[in-house]
Structure formats: structure tokens, C-alpha cells
Amino acid sequence: MVRIIHICPYLVILFLTCFCLPFSPSHLSFVALLSQVPVLSSILVLVLVAIFFLIILITLWRKKPHYEVRWKVIESVSVDCHHYTYIDPGCLPYDSAWEIPRDSIVLGKVLGLGAFGRVVEANISGLTGPDSTTKVAVKMVKQNNSSVQSLMSELKVLVHLGPHLNVVNLLGACTTPTGPVYVITEFCHHGDLLNYLHKNKHTFLQTDAQTESDGGYMDMSEEKNTQYVAMKTINSTQIEPTVYETPYPSLDETFLLLDDSSALSHNDLLSFSYQIAQAMDFLSSKNCVHRDLAARNALVCEGKLVKICDFGLARDLTKDQNYIARGNNFLPLKWMAPESVFKSVYSSQSDVWSYGILLWEIFSLGESPYPDIPRTRDFYSALRRGYRMTCPDHTPQTVYNLMTECWMEKPEARPSFTSVVSTFRNMMSDDYNKRYVRMTEEFLKGQNPAAIRFRAGQTHESPISEDKVRLLEVGPEEAGPSCSS
């Protein structure tokens, strides 16, 4: 830039000599023009500086991180499995039957706020019936073109997938130009799994310590200090109905997967792991890649029912230490597989690696992965060396063995999610497995708004198998050509 400024006077003289002299009436007029060289040089310098800074601003704007849907639908895979083509979600169909009238939505408190948008609690009237009220979560973005397009892409991906018991399901949307775009999903009462583990960690440690010290028996000497209160008998007419906010219209224990106590046990941790594996097996069966599987992106409902989601919109990624800015994206490096970190290759097998990190989060009761490697550059070198995390306290050896299998260097050496589901099913009790299958049947046949809306567009349903529960999987869907092809 300095060199350009130095040669500006010479450029001006050359310009005057070549273009102005032939049209000058006399040599004196040319001399007069030469006297204006300093002024013209200054103007030229200012123009060049302005152009220079304009180029810098455009470059920075292009590199500025923007909101994008993390979930991707795979269209095709190369023979060597090293290259994936993804469907442009903008090409996926959207049925206007998902539209919900804006005047039936009453927005409430903000559940999460991020750099690109927010998630708000809301109540919708008439979603499941004329007199019904349903508590939901509403996603919305700041009104710029790229963010709105990304939210529409997320909406179309959710429509494409269909509902699942362990996915935060789509309930509807508002996409009319009369207002901002709303994507309306299920509301999960207990928030994200990471904070749930943090909040209830002490109950697990107390239970675990008591089990080790007394074999799990209750200390009956404490009973003498217990005061009992007689229960008041009431009839059903005295019970006020509550708004619908769970996958089931009743909180009867027959509809709960586990008890709704805040106390955590080993069975709870196994159940969380099993449910998330079920959700990821479903996504894998739909050729969908999550790309941000972590405890912060799993939500907890009543009865410790867990649902996966993409909650990045409600998180300020610029201040979240779990995400590193790279180009115009924020990446969850410590949850990413080596091929994703170094080659930007994402697949169901890279999700399996992330699932192994998620298992470590669950059984460490919400600790941050790679606690011994705080710096990003150290993480890169450790990953290249083949470093793997050690077994968290209170983790069964079988579960840690599964973690290490998920962290195999070669993607094809990692287990499939179908295999992971089978492994955890064998760890669960027969009663638990029966409850889970019964819940999936109730999910399909009951009053869940997501299932009701999906059933309305289906001509037939797939049978539910206890050996392999993949909800609403009616066979592989044909993926149409991407917009880029």
C-alpha cells in the first residue's frame, strides 16, 4: 500500500501526458494541469485507500460466523466413503398443513438467547382439540435473509425426518409473510441434559456412597424421627387440568419411562445413553447426520425421557467455550471425530464418535471432555497422536469399552448405532424394555401432537418391533437431486 502511495504522482503525470495533452490547446494549459498534480495525487490516494478498506470489510463480512442448521441429510457417498454429498435442505418439500395461526400462539418467557435468534416458551390453543392448550417451544431468528433461510432449512429437515419418541419433534410453524418465521417444537420441562446432570450430581454421589457403605439397605434407625401426615381424599372433579407439555396427556406412572424423581442412579445414566442411541439410530436410518451431538443438545422431559435436538440457536456461540470459530462457522471441536476436524467429513460414523464423547459426559456427570487438554492447539496434536480419555469414575467397564470402540481411528471400525442400541438394551431390565416399547406404541397411537399431524399424512404405519424400535420408519426415502446438481 505504501509503494502505491509513493508512485501516485507519477501515475497522475502519466495519465495527464497520455490523455490530457492531445486535447490541450497549448503547452501552458498542460503546465497548469501539472500544477494540480499534488491535489489529484491526494484524491487518487484517498480513492485507493477507500477501495482497500472496502475489500477488507467484504472479506471480514464473508468470514463472519452465521447461523446454519447443523443436521444434514446425506444424498450420496463416494465408493471410498471419503466424500459425501448432502441434500440442500432448501430443496426439501414443506407442506402448508404444518402452518399454525399466529393468533393462537401466546409467547412467554425466553428459554434461550443466542447471537442469531432465541427460543421462547409459548402456549398454543386448539392444537390437539377445540379446547386444548399446549405448552411448546418456539424458535425464531433475527430478521436477516441468511438466518431466515437457515431456520426454514431446519424446518424442512424436521418435516423430512418425521417424529420419534427421543427427538424434539416438530409441532408446527408460522411461515407467512405477516410476521417472523416460527418453528414450533415440543417443550421439555427439565431443560438440557448437561445442566440436569450438574443440578442432580450430588444425589448420584450420595446414593453411590450409601450403596458402597451399607450394601444399599435403608437405615431404619432414621424412621423414628419421621413424621407422617394423613392423606386427604379427593375426587377427580377437584383436580384442575394442566396444559399439555409432555409426550403424554397423563403423568400416571404407567406412562413414565422412569420415576420423575430428581435423584440419579446408574440405571438413569444407562437409560439416558440407551434413549439417545435410539434417537441416533433413527437419524442414521434417515441418512441424517447430527454434527453436534452433545449433552447440551439433549433435553429432559418428565419421567426422565430424553430427546435430542439442535439447540445452537438458543446459545451465544461467541461466548461458549465449547465452540471454536473456524471460517464462518462455530465448531464443537472436542466432540468432533478426527476426520471431521481435519478433513471436514461428516457421517453417521462421525456421529458415533460424538456419541462416545456424550457417553463420557453422562458418566462423568456433566464434566467437560478432555479436562487435561484445555488449549485448542494441544487438542489438535493430542488427537493426531491417538490420545483417548480415561474411564470416568462410577462407569461400568462395559460402557467404557463401548466408548473406546466409538473412538476408533477408522470410521468403519466404529460400531453402528443399531449395534449400540442392542448393547444398551441388553444392559436394561426386561421391565424397562417393555415400558419403552409400550411408550413407543402410545407415542404412535396416542394424542401426541407431532404423531397426530404425521399420522394424518400417512396411508399406513410400520409395525413396532421390540427387538428394533425405529419409529415411523416406513422404508428408505428417495432423496431427490440436490439443488446444486
- The stretch 216-243 carries a mean pLDDT of 39
116 has binding-site annotation:
yes
Between 389 and 458, name the one with better pLDDT.
Answer: 389
Question: Is 292 a residue of the active site?
Answer: yes
Q: What's the whole-number mean pLDDT along residues 364-372?
A: 95
pLDDT at 483: 39
Residue-wise burial string across 298-320, b where 16 or more C-beta atoms lie within 10 A, e elsewhere: bbbbbbbbbbbbbbbbbbebeee
Whether the predicted pLDDT of 229 surpasses 60: no
Looking at per-residue confidence, does 288 or 34 come out higher? 288
Higher pLDDT, 56 or 202: 202
Least confident piece of the model among 4-8, 106-110, 127-131, 164-168: 4-8
Decide if pLDDT at 381 tops 70: yes
118 is in an annotated binding site: yes
- Give the residue extent of every domain in the chain: 2-58, 190-195+259-456
pLDDT at 208: 64
Residue 130: per-residue pLDDT: 84
Mean pLDDT computed over every residue of the chain:
78
Pairing of the two strands 72-77 and 288-289: antiparallel
- pTM for the model stands at 0.76
Confirm or deny that 52 is annotated as ligand binding: no
Average pLDDT over residues 246-251: 43
Q: What sign does the CA torsion over 422, 428, 430, 433 have?
A: negative
C-alpha to C-alpha distance for 195 and 191, rounded to whole angstroms? 7
Q: Is 84 annotated as contributing to ligand binding?
A: yes
Instruction: Using the predicted structure, report yes or no on whether residue 335 has a pLDDT greater than 70.
Output: yes
Q: Which has more pLDDT, 30 or 194?
A: 194
- Top pLDDT among 138 and 55 is at 138
123-130 average pLDDT score: 87
Is 272 annotated to bind ligand?
A: no
Residue 454 has a pLDDT of 74
Instruction: Determine the pLDDT at residue 465.
Output: 38
Catalytic residue among 292, 316, 320, 378: 292
Residue appearing with cell numbers 487518487: 44
Among 13-17, 200-204, 291-295, the least confident range: 13-17
For the ranges 32-46, 193-207, 306-320, 328-342, which has the lowest average pLDDT?
Answer: 32-46
The reply, when asked if residue 126 is annotated as ligand binding, is no
The whole-number pLDDT of residue 456 equals 67
On whether 192 is known to bind a ligand per the annotation, the reply is yes
Residue 108: half-sphere exposure toward Cβ, Cα within 13 Å: 10
Residue 115 assigned ligand-binding role? yes
Residue 168 pLDDT > 70: yes
- Ligand-binding annotation for 191, yes or no, is yes
Please report which confidence band the pLDDT of residue 430 belongs to, taking 50, 70 and 90 as the band edges. Answer: very high
pLDDT at 114 over 90: no
pLDDT of residue 1: 54
pLDDT at 147: 82
* 200-223: average pLDDT: 58
List phi, psi (to 5°) of 428: -85, 160
- Residue, of 85 and 251, whose pLDDT is higher: 85
Asked if residue 111 lies in contact with residue 121, where contact means CB atoms within 8 angstroms, the answer is yes
Give residue 60's pLDDT: 53
Give the least confident one: 88-92, 157-161, 254-258, 416-420: 254-258
d(CA 323, CA 330): 6
Q: How confident is the model at residue 417 (pLDDT cuts 50, 70, 90)?
A: very high
Q: Does 112 carry a binding-site annotation?
A: yes
Task: Give the pLDDT score at 169.
Answer: 94
Those residues whose C-beta lies under 8 Å from the C-beta of residue 120, and which sit 6 or more positions away, are 107, 108, 109, 110, 111, 137, 138, 140
Q: Per CATH, which fold does 190-195+259-456 belong to?
A: Transferase(Phosphotransferase); domain 1 (1.10.510)
What is the rounded distance in angstroms from the CA atom of residue 77 to the CA atom of residue 233?
A: 63
pLDDT at 226 over 80: no
Average pLDDT, integer, range 124-143: 88
pLDDT category of residue 255 using cuts at 50, 70 and 90: low
Q: Is 189 one of the annotated binding-site residues?
A: yes
Q: Is 329 annotated as a binding residue?
A: no
Residue 190 known to bind ligand: yes
Quick one: pLDDT at residue 210? Answer: 56
Q: What is the mean pLDDT of residues 350-377?
A: 94
Per-residue model confidence (pLDDT) at position 190: 93
> Residues of the chain with pLDDT > 90: what percent?
44
* Residues forming a β-bridge with 117: 141
